[in-house]
Copies of this chain bind each other. A is one copy, B any other.
Amino acid sequence: MGSVERKERERQEMRQLILETAMELFVEQGYENVTIRKIADKIEYSPGTIYFYFKDKDDVLLALCSVAFGEFFKALKPMRDVRDPMERLRAGSRMYLRFALEHQEFYDLMFIIRAPMRRQEELRKEADEHQEKWDVFYGSFQILRDTICDCVAEGYFPPATDIDAATIAYWSFVHGLASLRIRQRLPMIPEEGLEQVVNRAIDFMVSELSIR
């Protein structure tokens, strides 16, 4: 009988149910209010059951992180339609910032909070197979890297540019903007002028980085 496959499928469905429920709590109540007990309550199981499907809370958060990266990738994809790579960089930055602000909880999970990476570190040690799951991570990184490549190809950056260094540099810039905004570390700019200053910061970067 194929009941072993069905068992596996049911197991995955239960994992899925837990994750979806956790995600709902996440979106409507924020990271700090996502609790094993609340998840259990919402799916009408007891707290202990969660631990039959996930090793611990970090494990749940890591799984949520994968989902978030999927959304992130979808939000960034449209930037590839912009022909000019420098304009693509500008457009991509805006999309990145919009996503980060509109999905702060996802952004927290993906780039700020410790928890998911703790679990990820463990998994990297014990299972090579798990690496592929992080394609969602590398995928978004690759879009940016390709853009930087094109910038070199079209003469915006010098031919000798270190692609990886430049990619990380630009990504750091955008992530810095996003995380400083989300964590309210730009108190010198009044809230109402913030969006404009952020946009001007992007414009500064784009125009000053390219060879004039």
Shortest Cβ distance from A187 into chain B, in angstroms?
A: 7
Shortest Cβ distance from A131 into chain B, in angstroms?
A: 10
Docked pose: A137 CA to B189 CA in angstroms: 13
Count residues of chain A with CB under 8 A from any CB of chain B: 49
Cβ of A82 within 8 Å of any chain B Cβ, yes or no, is: no
Docked pose: A79 CA to B154 CA in angstroms: 36
Shortest Cβ distance from A207 into chain B, in angstroms?
A: 9
Cβ of A172 within 8 Å of any chain B Cβ, yes or no, is: yes
Are A172's CB and B180's CB within 8 A? yes
Are B141's CB and A201's CB within 8 A? no
Are A168's CB and B134's CB within 8 A? no
Please name all residues of chain B whose beta carbon is closer than 8 Å to the beta carbon of A166 when the two chains form the complex. Answer: 201, 204, 208
- The oligomer's copy count stands at 2
Chain A, range 173-212, C-beta contacts under 8 Å to B: 173-177, 179-180, 183-189, 197-198, 200-205, 208-209, 211-212
Please name all residues of chain B whose beta carbon is closer than 8 Å to the beta carbon of A205 when the two chains form the complex. Answer: 169, 173
Please name all residues of chain B whose beta carbon is closer than 8 Å to the beta carbon of A158 when the two chains form the complex. Answer: 208
User: Which segment of A11-19, A34-42, A48-56, A110-118 sits at the interface?
Assistant: A110-118
Q: Known: A111-B180, A112-B112, A112-B179. Contact between A168 and B186, CB under 8 A?
A: yes
Cβ of A164 within 8 Å of any chain B Cβ, yes or no, is: yes
- Mask: chain A, 151-171; 1 = CB below 8 Å from B; 0 = not: 000000110011011101101
Shortest Cβ distance from A32 into chain B, in angstroms?
A: 8
* Complex A-B, nearest 10 residue pairs according to Cβ-Cβ distance, in ascending order: A176-B176, A172-B176, A165-B200, A169-B201, A173-B173, A175-B176, A172-B177, A165-B201, A117-B184, A168-B201
30 cross-chain CB contacts under 8 A: A111-B179, A111-B180, A111-B183, A112-B183, A121-B184, A137-B187, A158-B208, A162-B200, A162-B204, A164-B189, A164-B197, A165-B200, A165-B201, A165-B203, A166-B201, A166-B208, A168-B180, A168-B197, A169-B173, A171-B176, A171-B180, A172-B172, A172-B173, A172-B201, A173-B205, A175-B176, A175-B179, A176-B177, A179-B179, A208-B209
